[in-house]
Structure 1
Amino acid sequence: MDARVREHAETIADHSTGIGAGDDVVIQMPKEAEDLAVALHEVCGDRGANPIYLNYSKRAQRAFKRSSEEFSEPGHRRALYEEADVFVIARGGANATEDADVDPETNAAYNRAMEEVKRTRLSKTWCLTQYPTASHAQLAGMSTEAYENFVWDAVSLDWDEQREFQSNMVEILDDADEVRITSGEETELTLDVSGNSTLNDYGEANLPGGEVFTAPTRDGVNGEVHFDLPLYRYGREIGGVRLRFEDGKVVSHSAERNEDLLTGILDTDEGSHRLGELGIGMNRQIDRFTYNMLFDEKMGDTVHMAVGSAYPETVGEDNEINESAEHVDMIVDMSEDSVIEVDGEVVQRDGTFVFEDDF
């Protein structure tokens, strides 16, 4: 086993989740990530925790979705989640496009059925990470070895140093009322964030981390945004997304590629027509686009926004939480001809923050 796998497992246990004696730990990952699952079992044994391994298969999930006429909440799965203390989930299957032929309406129906189960999991301590596999290396346009280096370098960042750097942006956003984002000729968006909290993601729930994020108020988004970087969702690429918001709601949308999939996402439920998250990427160790949102949304010189559910921790007690069975992040490249303003003050220009020396 590569020594970096054990290091990855220890980072998850010690930094991301704090696995301790007596914790019931659910380890959910594909068979391609079995080395990481084995290392996590060793770490759990060292710490007196109790692991259970769920072998997640996109191929099996695809078969279930395509053969089912309707979906209901899996009570046995929810029962497991209710009893668990810690979840560790890794991406990294054999085929990154395995579920590309599942109908968007089917995906939406499945997600609606799983909504309460997902909320149960998110209420616990959890970590989502990536195991480097050949399929994701291919998606990123990299050799397997280069992709392994890329993933494990990103995972093994000095997270204390990253937290301190990102805290500068948290301080700016935490008491803010309005964020305005402009980029090129097609993005001019204002987001009301008054009363909401900003979180500092430094490798805990997401590993790698590298962003600060908050939620706009449900009715407080207005303007237009062009997400000029693509995303992979349900095994298909969605590219060139454009959304127009009025009073928080998407009133028109388009995509240059796979618009039907975007439409299916937005039509999942009422909450999927609104933004649940605004995130600012601040991890400059992630220096290339790889078609993997776990990494891409953390890149420096980017912002991302998610249609769908908001994280409850970001929503103030006097504001309404946007709830949805979906949470789909999309990215704007802010490296050129772009500005972030907070309450009328420029805090980032062309990817450089106001608290950096070369602003």
Structure 2
Amino acid sequence: MPRTFEEKLHEYARVLVETGAGLQPGGKLQINAPIEAAPLVREIVQEAYRLGALDVRVDWRDDQLERLRYVEGSREAALFIPDWAMEQAERMVDDGYARIGIRGDDPNLLSGVDGSLIAERTKRGAQLSEKVSAAVSGHLIDWTLGAMSTPAWARSVYPDLPEAEGVARLWEDIFTVSRINEDDPVAAWEAHVDRLARLTAYLNGQQFSAVHIRNAEGTDLTVGLADGHVWDGGALTGPTGNRTVPNMPTDEVFTAPHRDRVSGVAVASKPLSVRGTLISGIRMTFKDGKAVEVSAETGEETLRQLVETDEGASHLGEVALVPASAPVAQTGSLFNMTLFDENAASHIAMGRCYPTNVQGGGDAERLAAAGGNRSLIHVDWMIGSPTSDVDGLTAGGERVPLMRQGEWVVDAAK
């Protein structure tokens, strides 16, 4: 019998808590979610306590309040971030709270707002939250990201549908790509992450010196990989010892580029939604690891501000491979949200690398020596397509086919 919406919502909450965040009896949980997500958050809280959680905290957000800060507030108000807010976040990291983030952003939330002001506040926030960001990127805490269908997000994905229909269709997309429509969602996730584990094991065994990505859209990019790089994907086990799935959905395997060994041209295959702005038609030329030419058809000012955040922002911190047949891609929709769109196409990320993608990367000096990139930002943008071919390049110059026409061709992917 088909599940009702309420039953699917409950299953989604269960998967986020158990499989995503890997919450254990006696654990503590922090949830960050839009106010529209109250029905889902209640299900998450209920599931967490049923599992034996000691404490569950919810940080609500209303994106419209963020816009009002910029539009109605003074410049000082736009840039003000109280120290105690960051101290509280750091204390929760120290206390071992797992985190579940629920996304439902309006991609055009900050349209018309002074981009330089957004950039300045974002940079200040990143500086103040470096400790928390390091804990998340280093998987020193357990965390996962999920999504909530909101009217604003649904309008951007399905602008031709009446609001209620758009919200309902987006919910069905979320359930589909998060494997909630499977007979046993938890078992489906176990099988999926096991397949991704086979892929990462194969890639880690090869220790390619670089990957070469090219497609009909104009990308012809050689991404040199960090020395002692580690491929990850699907489930991760951090210092807590708990198995988690940081992104739901996820269909990527990813690793750290060498900050100085990227060359060629990268052309976006999908728009990027960042800082409340939708950026389309991105094109970057890399030389010796740095983006030396940067352009976009729309949102170019925001893009340039992004790569000028700090010295590391113009270098790469991630390269990820995703098959064109991934569930997000099969929906045929553009979600205008990185959490979803990055799992529809291979992609790269400007800025900070994940320390876990380099052997011994938890040591800052070893990470830097291996070629890992440091930055206040980490922003993914999509370059893959159904025409993409990807080769692994060995230290001796041999080419090993990894993907053809957007699909894996190695046995480990079967």
Given the two structures, how large is their TM-score scaled by the length of structure 2? 0.79
The match for 1:342 among 392, 395, 399 is 392
The match for 1:57 among 62, 65, 70 is 62
The match for 1:14 among 5, 12, 18 is 18
Distance 1:118 1:68, change over 3 A: farther
Partner of 2:335: 290
Kept after mapping to 1: 8 A contact 2:108/2:278: no
Show CA shifts across 1:82-140 (max 9, x none).
Answer: 324200110125x4422332524323333333333322444311111101222222211
Q: Does residue 1:110 correspond to 2:125, yes or no? A: yes
Partner of 1:27: 31
SS state at 2:124 partner: helix
Aligned-pair Cα RMSD in Å: 2.4
Q: For 1:211 and 1:137, how far apart are their aligned partners in 2?
A: 24
Which of the two has greater strand per residue? 1
The match for 2:230 among 179, 186, 197 is 197
Partner of 1:330: 381
Structure 1 stretch 162-171 or stretch 212-221: which is displaced more? 162-171
Distance 1:234 1:185, change over 3 A: closer
Task: Please show how residues 1-359 of structure 1 align to structure 2 within 5 Å.
Answer: 2-49=6-53, 50-64=55-69, 67-69=74-76, 70-71=79-80, 73=83, 74-93=86-105, 95-100=106-111, 101-104=113-116, 105-106=119-120, 107-122=122-137, 123-141=140-158, 143-156=166-179, 158-174=188-204, 175-184=207-216, 186-193=218-225, 194-201=227-234, 204-282=245-323, 284-286=326-328, 287=330, 288=332, 289-299=334-344, 302-317=345-360, 318-320=366-368, 321-336=372-387, 338-343=388-393, 344-355=399-410
Q: For 1:188 and 1:117, how far apart are their aligned partners in 2?
A: 35
Show CA shifts across 1:179-204 (max 9, x none).
Answer: 11112273211112141000022581
Q: CA deviation at 1:319?
A: 4.1
Write the letter of the residue equivalent to 1:285: P
Kept after mapping to 2: 8 A contact 1:114/1:325: no
Structure 1 stretch 139-148 or stretch 229-238: which is displaced more? 139-148
Kept after mapping to 1: 8 A contact 2:317/2:352: yes
SS state at 1:186 partner: coil
Q: CA deviation at 1:298?
A: 0.9
SS state at 1:206 partner: coil
Write the letter of the residue equivalent to 2:25: A
SS state at 1:51 partner: strand
Write the letter of the residue equivalent to 2:47: V
SS state at 2:46 partner: helix
Distance 1:3 1:68, change over 3 A: farther
Partner of 2:363: none
Q: CA deviation at 1:23?
A: 1.2
Write the letter of the residue equivalent to 2:201: E
Given the two structures, how large is their TM-score scaled by the length of structure 1? 0.91
Kept after mapping to 1: 8 A contact 2:32/2:101: yes
| Alignment length (residue pairs) | 355
Kept after mapping to 2: 8 A contact 1:30/1:91: yes
Q: For 1:260 and 1:155, how far apart are their aligned partners in 2?
A: 34
Distance 1:57 1:185, change over 3 A: closer
Q: CA deviation at 1:45?
A: 1.6
Q: CA deviation at 1:356?
A: 6.8
Kept after mapping to 2: 8 A contact 1:87/1:121: no
Structure 1 stretch 102-111 or stretch 143-152: which is displaced more? 102-111
Distance 1:84 1:28, change over 3 A: farther
Q: CA deviation at 1:295?
A: 1.1
Show CA shifts across 1:142-201 (max 9, x none).
Answer: 622211111011112622222243344323422222111112273211112141000022
